[in-house]
Amino acid sequence: MRKIRKIIIHCSATKEGQDIDAKEIKKWHVEGNGWSDIGYHYVIKLDGTVEEGRPIERSGAHTLNHNHDSIGVCYIGGYEKKKKKGKWVNKDTRTKEQKDALQDLLLCLKKDYPTSIIYNHNQFSSKSCPNFDAHTEYKWISNFK
């Protein structure tokens, strides 16, 4: 069994309101990246539905050099609806349903992996993902003993 030390939060880097799911992300990862499966263990849709991705027993493919001891959780969104000056603008686009579902999922994962800490993907990468500070917002969950 894998020793889980980290729960790493990601965004799908899609525009606000763009409704995609784990199946679509899996297609991007398998067909686009040549991976064997979706990189994330969980995906949270706009309506708060939590979809399972890669089986939890398998290392993810979501954070270079940290997949072996982490769980990857991705919420759909992360960019404003429209580009500004030709570029996508980072934004915390989580819906209320996504916020509620993410909190519930993190509480469940913390029960199963009590020594785990919640991190932002950007703490391990130069990306802006997840476009909000999950590490600080969910510190109270990370601090549960």
Catalytic residues: 10, 40, 121, 127, 129
Structure tokens at 59: 């290392």
Structure tokens at 50: 């939590």
DSSP per residue, 67-85: GGGEEEEEES-EE-SS-BT
Q: How far apart are CA 71 and CA 41, in angstroms?
A: 6
Q: How far apart are CA 116 and CA 82, in angstroms?
A: 36
Q: How far apart are CA 129 and CA 34, in angstroms?
A: 22
